[in-house]
Amino acid sequence: MTISIRAAAPGDRAFIETLGRRTVMASVTPLRHPLPELVLENYDRLLAIVDGRAHIAFVAERDGERAGFILVVESMPDEVTGDDQAFIAYTAVEPRMRGMGVGSALLVAAEDEARKRGLPYMALMVTEENVAARALYARAGYRTERRLLCKAL
């Protein structure tokens, strides 16, 4: 079982759109109750934002089958310090291929490319409930820098 990572090509666009749309509801916390069609619209909006900026996009293949992707905005300064950083806009792995190293391989490739581009930090947001993703990021050395707090009114 081999995992390979490559730069996303124009032919991968439908895969990125489809897999992202199939997995985006996992980004919604139990605190919020949006209409699914609004979440899907916001995912499409996120893709447009990423497309409009310098970015890094990789696709993972496992045994020749597309298994996941990562989208990283190349330069998104930290909102507090102003430090330059890469920002992981979205990562998705085919549900049946989770836990097989696909996410780790995508993360390593994105970090390596960000380093090559001279970016000193990589940042991201992940929900508290996404235990598997949080464990992946912790293993890779990511630490909580701030927390987004929310309260339903």
Q: Which domain holds residue 46?
A: 3-139
Report if residue 144 sits inside a domain: no
Report if residue 73 sits inside a domain: yes
| pLDDT band of 8, cuts 50, 70, 90 | very high
Q: Across-strand partners of 7?
A: 58
Report if residue 79 sits inside a domain: yes
Q: What is the pLDDT of residues 39-66, one digit of tens each?
A: 999 999 999 999 999 999 999 999 999 9
Report if residue 145 sits inside a domain: no
Q: How far apart are CA 41 and CA 63, in angstroms?
A: 32
DSSP track, 95-139:
GGGTTSSHHHHHHHHHHHHHHHTT---EE----TT-HHHHHHHHH
Q: What is the pLDDT of residues 76-130, one digit of tens each?
A: 999 999 999 999 999 999 999 999 999 999 999 999 999 999 999 999 999 999 9
Number of domains observed in the structure of the chain: 1
Report if residue 153 sits inside a domain: no
Q: Over range 18-40, report the average pLDDT.
A: 95
- The answer to whether the pTM exceeds 0.85 is yes
Q: Is the pLDDT score of 148 beyond 90?
A: no
- Locate tokens 């949080």: which residue? 134
> What is the pLDDT at residue 57?
98
Report the CATH number that the domain containing residue 114 is assigned in CATH: 3.40.630.30
Q: Over range 10-24, report the average pLDDT.
A: 97
> What is the pLDDT at residue 75?
85
Q: Which of 79, 65, 137, 128 is closest to 107 using CA atoms?
A: 137
HSE-up of 63 (CA within 13 Å, CB side)? Answer: 3
Q: What is the pLDDT of residues 64-76, one digit of tens each?
A: 999 999 999 998 9
| pLDDT band of 134, cuts 50, 70, 90 | very high
> For residue 11, what are the CA distances in angstroms to 21, 29, 67, 73?
17, 32, 15, 20
- Locate tokens 């499409």: which residue? 44
Q: Over range 26-36, report the average pLDDT.
A: 94
CB 56 within 8 A of CB 76: no
Q: Is the pLDDT score of 1 beyond 80?
A: no
Report if residue 146 sits inside a domain: no
CB 126 within 8 A of CB 138: no
> What is the pLDDT at residue 77?
93
> What is the pLDDT at residue 83?
95
Report if residue 147 sits inside a domain: no
Bridge-based pairing state of the strands 86-93 and 122-123? parallel
